[in-house]
Amino acid sequence: MQLSNRYYQQLRSVSLVAGVSLLMVVPQLSQAQQLEPRAYSNAPIGVRFVSLGYAWSNGNVLLDPALPIDNLDADIHVGMFLLSQAFSLAGDNAKIKFALPWQAGDWAGSIEDVPESQRERGLGDAWIGLDWLFSGAPALTLDEFHQYQPGKVFGMGLRLSIPSGDYDSQDLLNLGSNRWSLRSEFSASQTWDQWTLEGVAGVRVFSANNDFLGSRTLEQKPMWSLKGSAIYSLPRPGWWASFSMAYGEGGKTRVDGVSKNTKQQNWRFGATFSMPLAHRHGISVRISSGINNGAGSDFDSVNLVYTYQMAAGGD
């Protein structure tokens, strides 16, 4: 029975992280409105995961949504390598995450009524994150995890975006943003039997880009976001599906002190399906779309993530 429980929890945990990993696939595309069900769910401590993700997005989508481009049409492919590990923080569950994207895109639009087009290939901005579930999610080993029944769970998260991607100050469109950003969030969830409802409130702040189009300075106000998900755990171990929606507002920019008409007011909607493939292997798929009421990203996206469980409690 112990081996059966352990195998069940490995299926459950690898499927959970495969679903959570979807949020990492497109780190620059409309970050404030990312749809990420179960991002703040408990997971066995000592478990390490490596994930490979792919996303295709089409529409009015920028790797940096602060840029003042009109009538944009883009086709973007993103590959992602990421690592994550659950550990104990003050007796509660926490996770540390690291993601590195490779991106390719073709853009066509206009800047002050002048047509522009560009093609880019290369590395995007990496990021590192820390999540802490400070209530309702005790730190548990994989063998202990089968006894855990989630109820009310509260957490918080930080994600630091690192300006490591390819950037050329002479180009308007770049794979890297040439600036730091920090996203902080507070989460709350409640589980009843097979259903879980989640809510997340967050804000993202930005440093200035002092090499924008030569030596100009690009500044951006904070972006606020609200996100919610309804998640249903299917009868088969490790299988689940969800519907999510998110709203983000803010992010107006200034270039050399001159305000631009770039305030964002964006809705996003999406559905996610996650399942274990086999012992230690999991996969998740998400389809999402957006509605743009201001500047910023408005696009359709398909995401796919494969996750492999490297280790769990010495197993």
Lowest mean pLDDT among 62-66, 211-215, 300-304: 62-66
Give the pLDDT mean for 67-95.
86
Dump pLDDT digits (tens) for 192-219.
999 999 999 999 999 999 998 889 999 9
131 contacts 95 by C-beta, under 8 angstroms: yes
Q: Which residue has the tokens 């990312």?
A: 34
CA 261 to chain centre: 26
Dump pLDDT digits (tens) for 224-254.
999 999 999 998 888 999 999 999 898 888 8
CA-based nearest residue to 156, from 123, 130, 128: 130
Give the pLDDT mean for 180-194.
95
Tokens of 23: 């949020």
What are the structural domain ranges in the chain?
A: 2-311
Max mean pLDDT among 10-14, 33-37, 254-258 falls in 254-258
Contacts of 89 (CB under 8 A, 6+ apart): 132, 139
Lowest mean pLDDT among 245-259, 263-277, 299-313: 299-313
CATH of domain 2-311: 2.40.128.130
* pLDDT band of 6, cuts 50, 70, 90: low
